[in-house]
Structure 1
Amino acid sequence: MIETTQVTTAIDDPPILVRRATGWYANFLLIAFALLPAYLIAYLYFFQDPRLTFEDHTFHEIAIAAATLEGLFVSYVTWQCYRHSGEPILRWLTLGFAGFVIIYALHGAFTPLAHHAMWLFLLYGPASRLVMAILLLVGLFSYQAAPDPLVRRGDRKSWATWFVIFVIVDVLVGVLASSPIAGALGTRLSLEGGAMVISFVNVACMLARKIRSPLMQIFGISVTAFALASLAFILGKPWNHMWWLAHAIFAGGFFLLSFGIVQAFHTTRSFSTIYSQEELLARLRESVARTESALQELQRSNQRLNQMAALDSLRGAVSRRAFVERVEHEIERVKNGGAPFAVLALDLDNLKQINDTFGQQAGNDVLMRVIDIGLNTLRPYNGTARMADDEWLLLLPCATLDIALMIGERIRSAVQATQFEENGERFSATVSIGIAQSAHDGKTSEAIIRAANERLSRAKQHGRNCVIAV
């Protein structure tokens, strides 16, 4: 059997000062982009005559109708993502979008009453934004919580109850708008100010929790836009340019958040993982660049392991009990604020067929080669355990689900690309991989390992030679 040796060249990391400076600059760009509407608000406030107006009821009705249709579509897509992943934040996002649509639609419907019943026309706008801001804040508090059970995701009674609540809000706003106290007590200012404050609290909570995943960055920028839109509504008056700018700012935030939802729908259908293949590849390249020297050391360690006695003939494998203890240690580290970890469950496809064709020794040789390929592909790992003749587990410390997914894909593609030779006959082999991540798939070692094994079974059921992480 002829094996080729892969030679890698270590590239020094850039200076730590450069890394920090680029990190600060990236954060500055995000903040500057999020505050872009504030510059426009300041410009109109200081340089625009507030008495200038553009009153076009038809244009306003068309814009609200388009916003309603878009809101319904985004609500449906978000609901589909929630049904798949069960993430509570997606449930609250669905309710936030739906509540906004149901209440905001009446703002457009009552446009013809703008002069005859001003408060009936105006109050549905801030009321819809306040309801959505509250639901988005509740959703943020549920970020990274355990997925909802399947029964709850499809509970029609629960969803119907919320829709009834939104209709009741519509009725209450109508009653308030028709009462003589609608304008006297500053109702519009209270509703709009409440939406603004809650949106800013939403952003402050994100910063306090140090939530930095790409989708949640989009979430934060969008909520900032919602807060600034409410500020513009407070500073503006119906039909003047500040009032129209407020609509545009809110629409921009809604468009951006919708983009994140659609990206989640086309990838993981989860709001807590990386949302695009490009981002996954970028994260992987960054990780590989930082750990290139560690990979070389890992290769040298693998050579030493071949000469060491182990609890199993598998490369560096430990008992299941020892592996579980290492997982428990990682769980405690995460509880103390450490980065999440991942567990990979791997299975060599069709090992029995290889044994029947070439003999059991050939099967063992293929298995050991596949294991070497897997370990040589990994960043430094923290344990390997053999579950069966052709199944084993790998523990990846400080690895989020997206990084583990890309590493699993690298292992799968590397194995598939390897040619084996036995008795002059060349053949290939494949592996199936299931991945689980701490917190996302449970808080105990048993739950995390069970999740990885369940996804491994799904990978084998889907035709083998694939990686499943959700």
Structure 2
Amino acid sequence: MSNTVAVGDPPEAARRVTGWYAALLRAMFALLPAYLIAYLYYFQDPHLLFESHGFHEIAIAAATLEGLFVSYVTWQCYRLSGEPILRWMTLGFIGFVLIYMLHGAFTPLAHHHMWLFLLYGPASRLAMSVLLFIGLLAYASGADSVERRTDRWLWGMWFVGFAAIDLLVAVLANSSIPGLLAARSLETGAMLISLLNVACLVARRIRSPLMQIFGISVMAFALSSLAFLLGKPWNHMWWLAHAIFAGGFFLLSYGIVQAFHTTRSFSTIYSQEELMAQLRQEMARTESALQDLQRSNQKLESLAAADPLTGASNRRTFVERLEAEVGAAKRGGSPFSLLAIDVDNLQRVNERFSEQTGDRILHDVAQVCMEAMRPYHGLARVDGGEFMAVLPGVALDAALMIGERIRASIQSLQFEGGQERVTVTASVGIAQYGADGATADAVMRAAGERLRRAKTHGRNCVIAV
């Protein structure tokens, strides 16, 4: 008795409930930083400070290196796939790095020029959130051309633009605009654009696994901006904001690495539901292919009637096999050769010695041909005294040797013809798939034409070119 249990799709109700549960878990995970922000806001002393310039510089240096690495990996994905969203993500990471690193470089000025130190942080987050939003709008668009992916002038202009933003932030820090107002405006802009990213993701119902990582990461960026707005330099809320942003950045970089190791794309990584649907489709195709194969085998078996006189295959079976060899050669790229063999002057033998003698000659010729062809099989009698043979995986030079062996074997045969000893010869024409044609008809025509040339050149010879 079989213990196999039939496995099918789960109940629809269970699928819906588990789907809702998974969505709830994703939302809870995305909002996890909000719980920490609320805890610090209500239960911690905002005046407690951890002012360590050295630690801050090390953290910013590490973030810069991480940003450069992620920018490079994202650019590699974009270069290979051409996805516009990856182009904008690359620019977002590069822009963040080129602006944010000055936040670390100006750490020693935290007491002497507070706003020159602080404004580069929110400016970098605002620039990155804007570029990520533009990339999200381009999600699933057509791939960029190869020329655009490698246009150094275009990429260079973006680097110049980020350098200009650095100068503008410096001008803003030294302007008459209150630094606190400028910092809060930039940070609020970064938060709102990040939330707009999340809203757009939800509105467009983009649910691929990598884009879910994108959404959770961007939500972390929005919550880090909220923490920066609620905190003050060097207090615990301010440090928590850095940690939340870093967590979102690390998560997004994980998605980038996943894309790099799979499809180099953010839009062709499939969800579990899509994979299951594709699996079902492939299983149905496989089942259909198996049924087609069984029908083809049955058809081949019904056509595989041997020639009763010689034991060789008949013409119909030979043509089917030749078509199959053509298909195999197209898929695998390996050559094969075709031999056309004709017994010389068979009609004269029949007229002089009787058809029974001719039949014995055909039978013995087929046997020596099969023996001389070993280990290859596939000899067929296609017409009267004409045979053809397929040599799979055999190039023209090797086929020429086999053809010569067949010719010599036939020439060595002797038959009783009443009071005389009868000997026969054969002419052979050889063609190779690919060099002489890419269809069964073309190869057969080439072999037949060379057989006719062998006949006109005195018979008892092999012609392969």
TM bracket (short chain): 0.5 to 0.7
Q: Which residue of the partner structure matches residue 254 of structure 1?
A: 249
Q: Which amino acid aligns with 2:245?
A: F
Q: Which amino acid aligns with 1:40?
A: L
Q: Which has the larger radius of gyration?
A: 2
Confirm or deny: 8 A CA contact 1:362 1:422 kept in the other structure: no
TM-score normalised per structure 2: 0.62
Question: Relative to 1, partners in 2 of residues 1:359 and 1:178: Cα closer, same or farther, differing over 3 Å?
Answer: farther
Q: Which residue of the partner structure matches residue 269 of structure 1?
A: 264
Question: Shift in Å at residue 23 of structure 1?
Answer: 0.8
Whole-Å Cα distance in 2 between the matches of residues 263 and 136 of structure 1? 18
Whole-Å Cα distance in 2 between the matches of residues 204 and 59 of structure 1? 35
Whole-Å Cα distance in 2 between the matches of residues 300 and 267 of structure 1? 30
Find the residue that maps to 1:181 and give its secondary structure. coil
Question: Shift in Å at residue 304 of structure 1?
Answer: 11
Q: Which residue of the partner structure matches residue 68 of structure 2?
A: 72
Of residues 307, 318, 321 in structure 2, which corresponds to 1:362?
Answer: 321
Q: Which residue of the partner structure matches residue 381 of structure 1?
A: none
Question: Relative to 1, partners in 2 of residues 1:367 and 1:52: Cα closer, same or farther, differing over 3 Å?
Answer: farther
Matched, 1:39 2:39: no
Q: Which residue of the partner structure matches residue 5 of structure 1?
A: none
Matched, 1:211 2:201: no
Q: Which amino acid aligns with 1:30?
A: R
Q: Which amino acid aligns with 1:161?
A: M
Question: Relative to 1, partners in 2 of residues 1:366 and 1:225: Cα closer, same or farther, differing over 3 Å?
Answer: farther
Whole-Å Cα distance in 2 between the matches of residues 64 and 153 of structure 1? 30
Confirm or deny: 8 A CA contact 1:75 1:94 kept in the other structure: yes
TM-superposition CA deviations, 1:196-240 (whole Å, max 9, x none): 000000110011111111111111111010000000000100001
Question: Shift in Å at residue 284 of structure 1?
Answer: 4.0
Q: Which residue of the partner structure matches residue 111 of structure 1?
A: 107
Q: Which amino acid aligns with 1:362?
A: R
Of residues 14, 22, 46 in structure 2, which corresponds to 1:50?
Answer: 46
Q: Which residue of the partner structure matches residue 192 of structure 1?
A: 187
Q: What is the correspondence of 1:112-151 to structure 2 with a 5 Å cutoff? A: 112-151=108-147
Question: Shift in Å at residue 267 of structure 1?
Answer: 1.8
Q: Which residue of the partner structure matches residue 465 of structure 1?
A: none
Q: Which residue of the partner structure matches residue 87 of structure 1?
A: 83
Q: Which amino acid aligns with 2:206?
A: I
TM-superposition CA deviations, 1:127-164 (whole Å, max 9, x none): 00000000000000111111111111111111111111
Q: Which residue of the partner structure matches residue 239 of structure 1?
A: 234
Find the residue that maps to 2:178 and give its secondary structure. helix
Question: Shift in Å at residue 11 of structure 1?
Answer: 2.7
Question: Relative to 1, partners in 2 of residues 1:9 and 1:362: Cα closer, same or farther, differing over 3 Å?
Answer: farther
TM-score normalised per structure 1: 0.61
Q: Which residue of the partner structure matches residue 169 of structure 1?
A: 165
Question: Shift in Å at residue 422 of structure 1?
Answer: 7.7
Question: Shift in Å at residue 26 of structure 1?
Answer: 1.0
Q: Which amino acid aligns with 1:113?
A: L
Whole-Å Cα distance in 1 between the matches of residues 320 and 136 of structure 2? 54
Of 49-58 and 282-291, more deviation after overlay is shown by 282-291
Confirm or deny: 8 A CA contact 1:215 1:273 kept in the other structure: no
Question: Shift in Å at residue 172 of structure 1?
Answer: 0.7
Question: Relative to 1, partners in 2 of residues 1:389 and 1:77: Cα closer, same or farther, differing over 3 Å?
Answer: closer
Question: Relative to 1, partners in 2 of residues 1:152 and 1:364: Cα closer, same or farther, differing over 3 Å?
Answer: same
Question: Relative to 1, partners in 2 of residues 1:363 and 1:207: Cα closer, same or farther, differing over 3 Å?
Answer: farther
Whole-Å Cα distance in 1 between the matches of residues 285 and 83 of structure 2? 35
Q: Which amino acid aligns with 2:321?
A: A
Question: Shift in Å at residue 82 of structure 1?
Answer: 0.9
Whole-Å Cα distance in 2 between the matches of residues 219 and 235 of structure 1? 25
Whole-Å Cα distance in 2 between the matches of residues 35 and 99 of structure 1? 26
Question: Shift in Å at residue 264 of structure 1?
Answer: 1.3
Structure 2 gap segments, 5+ residues each: 301-316, 333-375, 379-391, 394-465
RMSD: 3.5
Q: Which amino acid aligns with 2:84?
A: P
Question: Shift in Å at residue 366 of structure 1?
Answer: 7.6
Question: Relative to 1, partners in 2 of residues 1:366 and 1:30: Cα closer, same or farther, differing over 3 Å?
Answer: farther
- Higher RCO (CA-CA < 8 Å; seq separation 6+): 1
Question: Relative to 1, partners in 2 of residues 1:367 and 1:252: Cα closer, same or farther, differing over 3 Å?
Answer: farther
Q: Percent identity?
A: 65
Confirm or deny: 8 A CA contact 1:130 1:194 kept in the other structure: yes
Whole-Å Cα distance in 1 between the matches of residues 253 and 286 of structure 2? 43
Whole-Å Cα distance in 2 between the matches of residues 258 and 236 of structure 1? 26
Count of equivalent residues: 319
Whole-Å Cα distance in 2 between the matches of residues 128 and 77 of structure 1? 20
Whole-Å Cα distance in 2 between the matches of residues 156 and 291 of structure 1? 43
Confirm or deny: 8 A CA contact 1:13 1:290 kept in the other structure: no
Confirm or deny: 8 A CA contact 1:100 1:128 kept in the other structure: yes
Q: Which amino acid aligns with 2:256?
A: I
Whole-Å Cα distance in 1 between the matches of residues 192 and 48 of structure 2? 28
Whole-Å Cα distance in 1 between the matches of residues 64 and 165 of structure 2? 17
Q: Which amino acid aligns with 1:205?
A: C
Whole-Å Cα distance in 2 between the matches of residues 363 and 115 of structure 1? 86
Q: Which amino acid aligns with 1:59?
A: F
Whole-Å Cα distance in 1 between the matches of residues 281 and 74 of structure 2? 36
Whole-Å Cα distance in 1 between the matches of residues 87 and 330 of structure 2? 42
Question: Shift in Å at residue 289 of structure 1?
Answer: 5.9
Question: Shift in Å at residue 272 of structure 1?
Answer: 1.0
Q: Which amino acid aligns with 2:60?
A: I
TM-superposition CA deviations, 1:402-457 (whole Å, max 9, x none): xxxxxxxxxxxxxxxxxxx987xxxx99xxxxxxxxxxxxxxxxxxxxxxxxxxxx
